[in-house]
C-alpha cells in the first residue's frame, strides 16, 4: 500500500464487521484519494447466527448458514485476511497478526463480537458445548449422531440458559430426538425469556410443553461432569445423569479489548458515541456486542444481530464521511421486533404491530432472514434451494 492510499481495517467478520465492509464497497470513493478496506477474521466463514439452530435438525445446510468470506467478497474490492489478531498498537495505528506484517490503518473498526464464558462453573469448559459458531454446531451434531447410533433407550440433554438461544435449542433438539429425547432447560431466574414480549414467552412455553421439555426455574448449575450435572434449587442439591450439556449463559467481550487503553463500562464494553466512534478516539469505530452505545435519541442500543446490522449501515457511511470530509450521521436505532424458532416449521414473530406464531411465523421468519443475508447472489442461491427442496423431497418419495 502506498502512502497515498488510506486503509480501513475491520476486525471481526460477524454482522457488524462484514456488513460494514459490504456497505463500504458500495460507496462512491474518489480515485484521487483511494481507500483500501481490509476485513480480518480468524475463521473462513461468516455465520448467519439466527439460522444456526437449523443445522441441528438438518433443515438447512452449512453453506446456506455459513458461506465463505471469499465467496461473499468475490465481487467487491474488500480484501479478506483469515488470521487471528494478536494485538493492536493504538499509538502506531497498527494491527498485529501472527506470521504477517502489521497492518497500518487510518480507520479501525472493532467488531470482534462476544464469546460465551465457560470458566464460571467447574467442569463447564471441559464438558459443556457453547452454541455460537459452526464448529459448535458440528461438535453438537457429532455427539448427537453418536448417541442416536447407540442402544440407549433415552438420550438426556441439558440446555443451560432460558434465554433466546436456550429456548430455540431445546425446541430443535426435542424435535430431532423425538420420543428418545429427554430435554431439560435450566434457568436461574423465575421464568424464561425475561426480556421478551409476553406473546413470545407464552408461545415458547407452549412449544416447550408440547415437546415434553422439562423446565428447571430458580435453578443454578453447581458443576458439570462427563455424564453428570449438579443442580442447585434453593437449598437442595441434585445430581442427575446427562449425555450432553449445552451452555448458552452469558456473553463477554473479546479478550482482545482487555489490553487496549480505551474507555469502557463495567462490563468492559467500549463507550461509543452515537456516530459509532469510540469516545475520545474519532478514528476508531466500534459496533455490535462490544459497544456500549446510546443512539441519537438517547436510547440504549441492545447487543443483538438486529442492532449490529443497523449499526453497520451507519458505520460504513460514517467511515466514508470521515475520510471524504463530510458530516457524520448519528445512529438511530429502530426496534423491528423479535423472531424465534420454536422447533421444526414453527416460530414466533412480534413487531411493527404484528404477532404471529406457528407455520406462518416460520415462513415469515425465513423470508425475513433470506432478505437479510449478506449478498444478493447468496440470497438467490439459498432462495432457489428453499424452493427446490420440497420438490426434490417429493420426487424422492
242 shares a domain with 146: yes
| Mean pLDDT, range 15-44, rounded to an integer | 94
Per-residue confidence (pLDDT) for residue 1, from 0 to 100: 47
Asked if the structure places residue 181 within a domain, the reply is: yes
Asked if the structure places residue 73 within a domain, the reply is: no
Alpha-carbon gap, residue 176 to 58, rounded angstroms: 9
390 shares a domain with 319: no
| Mean pLDDT, range 276-283, rounded to an integer | 97
243 shares a domain with 309: no
First CA to last CA distance, the chain: 57
For residue 15, what are the domain limits? Answer: 6-42+83-115+252-323
319 shares a domain with 299: yes
Asked if the structure places residue 48 within a domain, the reply is: no
241 shares a domain with 257: no
* Total domains, the chain: 3
Asked if the structure places residue 53 within a domain, the reply is: no
238 shares a domain with 144: yes
Strand 236-241 relative to strand 228-233, pairing:
antiparallel
User: Where a domain ends, among 323, 350, 372?
Assistant: 323
Asked if the structure places residue 107 within a domain, the reply is: yes
pLDDT tier at 352 (50, 70, 90 boundaries)? confident
352 shares a domain with 317: no
User: Where a domain ends, among 247, 268, 297?
Assistant: 247
**Per-residue exposure over 27-43, b if at least 16 CB sit within 10 Å of its own CB, e if not:** eebeeeeebbbbbbbeb
345 shares a domain with 316: no
238 shares a domain with 212: yes
Alpha-carbon gap, residue 243 to 223, rounded angstroms: 14
CB neighbour list of residue 101: distance below 8 Å, 6 or more residues apart: none
313 shares a domain with 284: yes
Query: Considering only 157-171, 308-322, 343-357, which range has the smallest mean pLDDT?
Result: 343-357
Spatial contact of 362 and 369, defined as CB atoms under 8 Å apart: no
Given a cut of 70, is residue 397 above it in pLDDT? no
Asked if the structure places residue 56 within a domain, the reply is: no
pLDDT tens digits, residue range 360-379? 999 999 999 999 999 999 99
276 shares a domain with 217: no
Strand 103-104 relative to strand 94-96, pairing:
antiparallel
Asked if the structure places residue 55 within a domain, the reply is: no
Per-residue confidence (pLDDT) for residue 393, from 0 to 100: 66
pLDDT, averaged across the chain:
94
Amino acid at each position: 500500500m502506498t502512502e497515498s492510499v488510506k486503509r480501513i481495517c475491520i476486525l471481526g467478520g460477524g454482522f457488524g464487521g462484514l456488513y460494514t465492509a459490504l456497505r463500504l464497497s458500495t460507496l462512491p470513493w474518489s480515485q484521487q484519494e483511494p481507500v483500501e478496506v481490509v476485513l480480518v477474521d480468524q475463521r473462513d466463514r461468516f455465520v448467519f447466527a439466527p439460522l444456526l439452530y437449523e443445522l441441528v435438525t438438518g433443515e438447512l445446510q452449512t453453506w446456506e448458514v455459513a458461506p465463505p468470506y471469499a465467496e461473499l467478497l468475490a465481487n467487491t474490492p474488500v480484501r479478506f485476511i483469515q488470521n487471528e489478531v494478536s494485538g493492536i498498537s493504538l499509538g502506531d495505528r497498527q494491527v498485529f497478526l501472527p506470521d504477517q506484517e502489521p497492518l497500518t490503518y487510518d480507520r479501525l473498526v472493532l467488531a470482534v463480537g462476544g464469546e460465551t464464558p465457560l470458566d464460571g462453573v467447574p467442569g463447564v469448559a471441559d464438558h459443556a458445548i457453547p452454541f455460537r459458531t459452526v464448529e459448535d454446531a458440528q461438535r453438537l451434531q457429532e455427539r448427537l449422531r453418536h448417541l442416536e447410533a447407540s442402544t440407549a433407550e433415552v438420550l438426556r440433554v441439558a440446555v443451560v440458559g432460558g434465554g433466546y438461544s436456550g429456548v430455540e435449542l431445546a425446541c430443535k433438539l426435542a424435535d430431532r430426538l423425538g420420543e428418545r429425547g429427554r430435554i431439560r432447560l435450566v434457568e436461574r431466574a423465575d421464568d424464561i425469556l425475561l426480556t421478551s414480549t409476553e406473546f413470545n414467552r407464552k408461545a415458547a412455553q407452549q412449544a416447550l410443553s408440547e415437546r415434553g421439555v422439562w423446565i428447571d426455574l430458580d435453578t443454578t448449575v453447581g458443576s458439570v461432569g462427563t455424564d453428570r450435572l449438579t443442580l442447585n434449587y434453593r437449598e437442595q442439591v441434585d445430581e442427575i445423569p446427562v449425555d450432553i450439556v449445552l451452555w448458552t449463559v452469558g456473553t463477554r467481550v473479546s479478550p482482545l479489548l482487555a489490553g487496549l487503553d480505551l474507555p469502557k463500562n463495567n462490563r468492559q464494553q467500549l463507550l461509543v458515541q452515537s456516530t459509532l466512534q469510540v469516545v475520545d478516539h474519532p478514528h476508531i469505530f466500534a459496533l455490535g456486542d462490544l459497544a456500549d452505545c446510546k443512539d441519537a435519541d438517547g436510547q440504549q442500543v441492545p447487543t443483538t444481530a438486529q442492532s449490529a446490522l443497523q449499526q453497520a449501515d451507519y458505520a460504513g457511511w460514517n467511515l466514508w464521511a470521515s475520510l471524504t470530509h463530510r458530516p457524520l450521521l448519528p445512529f438511530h436505532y429502530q426496534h423491528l421486533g423479535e423472531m424465534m424458532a420454536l422447533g421444526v416449521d414453527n416460530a414466533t414473530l412480534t413487531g411493527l404491530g404484528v404477532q404471529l406464531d406457528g407455520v406462518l411465523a416460520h415462513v415469515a421468519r425465513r423470508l425475513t432472514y433470506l432478505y437479510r443475508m449478506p449478498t444478493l447472489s447468496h440470497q438467490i442461491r439459498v432462495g432457489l434451494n428453499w424452493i427446490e427442496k420440497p420438490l426434490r423431497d417429493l420426487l424422492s418419495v
